[in-house]
Structure 1
Amino acid sequence: MKLFATDLDGTLLNEKHEVSQENAEAIRKAQAHGIEIVVATGRSFNAARKPLDAVGLDCPVICLNGAKVHDKDGKVTSTIPLDKAMCHKIKNACQNEGIYFEVFTNEGGFSSSREKFLEVMIDIAISAYPDLDEDMVRERGKQRFQDEDIQVTNDFQALFARNDIDVYKILAFSIVEGELINVNRQLQSETGIAITSSGDSNLEFNHPDAQKGIALKLFAAERGIEMKDVMAIGDNYNDVSMLKMAGRGVAMGNSDEAIKKVCNYSTKSNSEHGVAYAIEEMLEEIYQ
């Protein structure tokens, strides 16, 4: 293996949304063996860098599911924005269902309401983990707004009309049964978008060419690396494209069974340092 690509949430990050020391040390060990590391995430670049910086990891970042790629110094090396007409269709579909959504652009993220986001996040967290403290969830939600640099707007129509704005991803949330399904049905026949998900309570909308697998393949090719020499690890549906393309696709132990079926390897969960386990297993096979 010459290149290792890892997702963040549910993969490299544990249940505290942190990179464990075990994972960080394993990544540094892989780098010491000459293996290049790249993060491939649905997050924005700034939100992706924070947990990496906390443990001193330095690597390029494929962010917003492949819509933007940054080198390890933060310089943007490629972008693939959504068509503005498609942005309007996604907005209308979400608003018709009353779904909260966020728009990620070259000027940061945009939301219609911080409070609406916090309500949605609390509902999602409490429904999944009834014993969670609501105040703690609210504080984490407020922190996410800061990490993702979310601005509030009441006029997405005007935002999409701006010539200086590129839209890279639209992210919709809901735990109301059927709402996300209805939005998906309205848009699934459109050829100008790729619809994925990083969890049961969201949908992610990108340009069809803005997918982790496509971005990773281009990233590898620029370095003269074939996909057979790439290991990719992830836990959710927005990881599937890179898990399928990589020579060594690894599913996290906390993945759905559908994710595990597309991979030829699996590892422990994100709360058990699954990334470190996968790296050690790979290195042992190479250097045994």
Structure 2
Amino acid sequence: MKLIATDLDGTLLNKKGEVSAENAKAIRMAMDRGIKFVVATGRSYDAASKPLQEVGLSCPIICLNGANTYSLNKELLRNAPMDLTVSRKIQAICRKEDVYFELFTNNGVYSTNREHFMEVMVDILTSTHPNSSEAEIRIAAEQRFQNERVQFVHNYDDLFSMDDIEIYKILAFSLEKGKLSNVRSQLDKETELAITSSGDINLEFNHPDAQKGIALANLADSMGVRMEDVMALGDNFNDASMLQMAGIGVAMGNAVDEIKELCSHTTKSNNDHGVAFAIEQMLKKVSL
């Protein structure tokens, strides 16, 4: 293997949103042996960089599901913005179905208002972390403002009318899965749209060229690495394209069943340092 590519949430990051010491150590071990390391995430660049910086890791980052690719030196290498007409259609359908959504743009993240944003974050975190206290949930929700540059607008139409705006991803949330299903069914046939998810309470909308697999193949080629020499790790549907295209696709122990079925290997869960385990197993085979 010449390149390791990993998702963040549910993969490299544990339930606290941190890179464990075990994972960081294994990544450094691989890099010391000349293996390149890349992160491919649905997060924005700023939100992806923070947990890596906390453990002293730096690497190229594919973010927003492949809409942006940044070099080790923070240079934007590739971008794939969404069609504005399609973005407006998503907005209209989400509003009709009463589904909360956010826009990830070249100017940061946009939401409608802080109060609604906080309500949604608290609902989501309460659903995904049922054993956490209300105080812990509130702190985690507030953390989102530190991880992302979130701005609030009263009217998304004003945003769409900006001359220099580029929309890279639309992220929709709902605890009512039927609403998400209704939204998806109305957009499934859009040829200028890729629809994925990073959990069962969200939908992620991107340009068709903004997929992790496409972005990873492009980056690997620029590094002189063939995809058959890439090991990719992930846990959810927005990881599927890179897991399928990589020479070795590794599903996390906590991955959804459909992702496990796509992959040739399954490692331990994200809370059990599954990335470290997969890297260590790979390095053992390489050294034989």
Q: Which TM-score bucket, shorter chain as reference?
A: over 0.9
Shift of 1:74: 1.1
Residue 96 of structure 1 corresponds to: 96
The separation in 2 between residues aligned to 1:129 and 1:221, in whole angstroms, is 39
Structural mapping, 1:1-288, within 5 Å: 1-288=1-288
The separation in 2 between residues aligned to 1:252 and 1:115, in whole angstroms, is 35
Greater displacement, 144-153 / 13-22: 144-153
TM-score (norm 1): 0.98
Shift of 1:128: 3.8
Contact kept, 8 Å, 2:125 with 2:141, in 1: the verdict is: no
Contact kept, 8 Å, 2:101 with 2:172, in 1: the verdict is: yes
What code does the residue aligned with 1:126 have?
Answer: T
Contact kept, 8 Å, 2:102 with 2:110, in 1: the verdict is: yes
Shift of 1:118: 2.0
Q: Deviations over 1:241-262 (max 9, x none)?
A: 0000000000000001111000
The separation in 1 between residues aligned to 2:193 and 2:257, in whole angstroms, is 25
Greater displacement, 71-80 / 238-247: 71-80
What code does the residue aligned with 2:216 have?
Answer: L
Closer, same or farther: CA 91–115 of 1 in aligned 2, 3 Å: same
The separation in 1 between residues aligned to 2:200 and 2:28, in whole angstroms, is 32
TM-score (norm 2): 0.98
Shift of 1:136: 1.3
Contact kept, 8 Å, 2:177 with 2:201, in 1: the verdict is: no
* Paired residues, number: 288
Q: Secondary structure at the match of 1:192?
A: coil
| Seq. identity, % | 56
Q: Which runs of 5+ in 2 are unaligned?
A: none
What code does the residue aligned with 1:27 have?
Answer: I
Shift of 1:146: 2.3
Q: Which runs of 5+ in 1 are unaligned?
A: none
What code does the residue aligned with 2:125 have?
Answer: A
Contact kept, 8 Å, 2:177 with 2:200, in 1: the verdict is: no
What code does the residue aligned with 2:31 have?
Answer: Q
Q: Secondary structure at the match of 2:177?
A: coil
What code does the residue aligned with 2:121 have?
Answer: M
What code does the residue aligned with 1:70 have?
Answer: Y
What code does the residue aligned with 1:145 have?
Answer: F
Q: Secondary structure at the match of 2:9?
A: helix
Shift of 1:60: 0.5
What code does the residue aligned with 1:153 have?
Answer: V
